Amino acid sequence: MSRVVMYARVSSRRQEQERTIESQIAKIEAYARERGLELGEQDRYLDDGVSGKRLARPGLDRLRDQVAQQTIDEILCLSPDRLARTLAVQQVLLYEMEQHQVKVTFLNQPNLATDEQEKLWQGITGVIAEYEREVIQDRMRRGRLHRMRQGETVPVQAPYGYRYLADQASRRSQWLVVEEEAAIVEQVFAWYTDSGLTQQEIAHRLNGQGTPSPEGKKWGSTAISRLLRQSAYMGKAYYGRKSADTSQIGQMRKAGRGRLAFPRYLAHPFAEWIESQVPALVDESHWQAAQSRLDMNSQFSSRNSRRPYLLRGLLVCATCGHTLQGRTQGQRITYQCTYGGCRRPPDVPPHRCVVSAAVVEPLIWQALRSLLDQPQRLQDAWLSFCAVPEHTPNSRLEVRQNNLLLRRRRLLDLYETGAISLSEFQERLTPLAQELAQLETQLAEPAQPPFQISIELFTQRIQSALDSADVSTQQEVLRLLIERIVVSDEALSVEHIVPTIDNSRLDYTLRAT
Ligand SMILES: [Zn+2]
């Protein structure tokens, strides 16, 4: 025998209090009697004075519990808005009832019969199902993250050399080593670290053997470097290194043309990565050796056209004063003046100013290091620079003051000769007078003592930066100390930020040709 229950609700809003819950119960009971059904006290699920916007309602909660336990076959309700105020909540509830094969009958609304309504209903339930799926996926994802943090599971995406094995009742999920692929990985590491082969050569050898790449195609140096960078091979797989940001897909690109078609990947800080232990394929010292060689390569590779020019913006042509431009042609990196030929200004003779990076970069770098080895000299130079009167901050203000006084004198002359009217004179005088007054108060204050810096600390920090330096750090250090380097035919003269340091002329003979 099927069990039929009723659900009735009135909200706390005053205009609805007139329609008491009793009138709803009476209407539903009358309808039930017509159908020959008898509803007892235990078949009433009532919410008196509860908003229909919320899902958390005592009567509704009890009803949903019964629905979930499948002890109910049909629910009688006056109208959909008694079940829920908003369409979304209504549909969530109806979908839930439907999942448990519970029929909902609304007295004030005939059953949805027309095709259009049916379609709408299906569309809505589809959306809800999708939403639910997402909620479940999200919950699973979070559970998975948690288990991964506990070391109970491994990432699903296994790199070349492994197969992911999902967890079963008897064991946790894990990566299985694929022996033939693992042998290739070992071989690649050995070739790279022991035999000193280049990535290109390794790719060539693998292709010669007929070994397919992880994508099943030919090996290239990119695939080799990706393989050498894979931390899993020394036993540590990481999860959550980056996340995809899909919010900008379809928007105009900030650089370049067209719209963004792919997600942007945002790298997460290392502290947020989740580490999993996986079977190692090479020992850690081997792996580390490969990493240092890779780092060296990326820093000094002349094939890498995106290699930053260490001295970018610092080298200046002695003949015309233009900044030299970095150029990479094949294996050769140079800095050259591009204003010595047809682009040169009329008063400049034709000239050629080209220096090879291989010559000039180590030279400057060495000079800088030897300078940093003598912090006392840097400090002396700095202090004597500050001691010279014209370098005190006040001298700058005095120069400005003199300029303003001169302009005021000229303005007065203009007015006296009748070249400008009184109103124009006043208009132009006001800002001048204001700035002059401001300067006078500033000059009346005691002069600031020279800026004190701890040169030892400064050089220590620079030294430590140099030891671990990547090119952009090196560039930063260079710019801290060097104003510019003038390149002439036979010498580089280094103009330091801190002047009065001698030994700034570096003679060199090896000119790029
Ligand atoms: Zn030039």
- Ligand 1 centre to CA of 254 (Å) is 34
Q: Is the CB of residue 128 less than 8 Å from the CB of residue 92?
A: yes
- Asked whether residue 198 carries a pLDDT value surpassing 70, the answer given is yes
Angle at 99 between CA 95 and CA 101, to 5 degrees: 110
Ligand 1 center from residue 349 Cα (angstroms): 9
In the reported structure, the alpha carbon of residue 352 is separated from the centroid of ligand 1 by a whole-number distance in angstroms of 7
Q: Name residue 106's amino acid.
A: F
Dist. CA 328 → ligand 1 center (Å): 19
Q: How far apart are CA 221 and CA 205, in angstroms?
A: 11
Mean pLDDT of 339-352: 81
Identify whether the C-beta of residue 472 lies closer than 8 Å to the C-beta of residue 465: no
What's the chain's Rg over C-alpha atoms?
A: 40
Residue 493 DSSP SS3: strand
- Ligand 1: centre distance to CA 499 (Å): 24
Going from the Cα of 197 to the center of ligand 1, the distance in angstroms, rounded, reads 41
Q: According to the model, what pLDDT value does residue 378 have?
A: 67
- Per DSSP, the three-state class of 75 is strand
pLDDT band at 132 (very low <50, low <70, confident <90, very high): low
CA of 504 to the centre of ligand 1 (A): 21
Please name the amino acid found at residue 422.
L
Cα(16) to centroid(ligand 1), Å: 88
Query: 53-58 long-range contacts, Cβ below 8 Å, gap at least 24?
Result: 53/84, 53/85, 53/86, 53/89, 55/84, 55/89, 55/92, 55/93, 57/9
State the pairing for strand pair 274-277/236-239.
antiparallel
What is the CA(343)–ligand 1 centre distance, in A? 10
What residues flank ion ligand 1 with Cβ within 5 A? Answer: 317, 319-320, 322, 337, 339-340, 353
Maximum Cα–Cα distance for the chain, whole Å? 116
Q: How far is the CA of 489 from the centre of ligand 1 (A)?
A: 11
Average pLDDT over residues 203-225: 90
Count of CB atoms within 10 A of residue 343's CB?
11
Q: Residue 508: is its pLDDT beyond 70?
A: no
Cα(21)–Cα(28) distance, integer angstroms:
11
Residue pair 482/462 in contact by the 8 Å Cβ criterion:
no
pLDDT band, residue 228 (cuts 50/70/90):
very high
For residue 258, count CB atoms less than 10 angstroms from its CB and return exposed for 0-12, middle for 13-18, buried for 19 or more: exposed
Helix spans in 150-266 (H): 179-193, 199-209, 221-229
For residue 394, the model assigns a pLDDT of: 63
Tell me the CA–centroid distance for residue 333 and ligand 1, in Å.
18
**Residues 359 and 506 sit within 8 Å (Cβ to Cβ):** no
Q: Report how far ligand 1's centroid is from the alpha carbon of 367 (Å).
A: 24
Tens of pLDDT, residues 447-501: 555 445 566 666 676 676 666 666 777 777 777 777 788 888 777 888 776 654 5
H runs (alpha helix) in 46-198 = 58-68, 80-83, 87-99, 115-149, 179-193
Question: What's the confidence (pLDDT) of residue 307?
Answer: 60
Q: What is the three-class DSSP state of 109?
A: coil
Question: By C-alpha distance, which of 454, 262, 345, 60 is closest to 462?
Answer: 454
Q: Output the CA–CA distances (angstroms, integers) from residue 509 to 124, 322, 325, 328, 456, in the order listed.
A: 80, 22, 21, 22, 34
The pLDDT assigned to 20 comes to 72
Q: How far is the C-alpha of 311 from the C-alpha of 363, rounded, in Å?
A: 11
| pLDDT (mean) for 113-140 | 65
